[in-house]
Amino acid sequence: MSFQEYLKYLTKLFVQYMDTPKDERRLRKTPRESWSSRWFGAIPMSIRLLWRK
């Protein structure tokens, strides 16, 4: 991929982003998972389940 193609691609993405309404851009953001599951996977969840029983 040449630099010009890459620049066209980035420009296209930027224009698409700017064309979407501000409210719609906010709705796309998904809530992040907790830091423990993001860093360690399913292990903290399994420990919590065992602890609650």
Please give the model's pTM, rounded to 2 decimal places.
0.46
pLDDT tens for 10-40 read 999 999 988 888 887 777 667 777 777 677 7
Q: How far apart are the first and last CA of the chain?
A: 55
Sign of CA dihedral 5, 10, 12, 13: positive
CB 44 within 8 A of CB 37: yes
Domain count, the chain: 1
Amino acid at 30: T
Q: Three-state SS for 6?
A: helix
Range of the domain at 34: 1-50
Specify the pLDDT at position 47.
85
Spatial separation of the C-alpha atoms in residues 27 and 22, rounded to whole Å: 9
For the chain, give the number of residues.
Answer: 53
Taking residues 41-45, report their average pLDDT.
Answer: 79
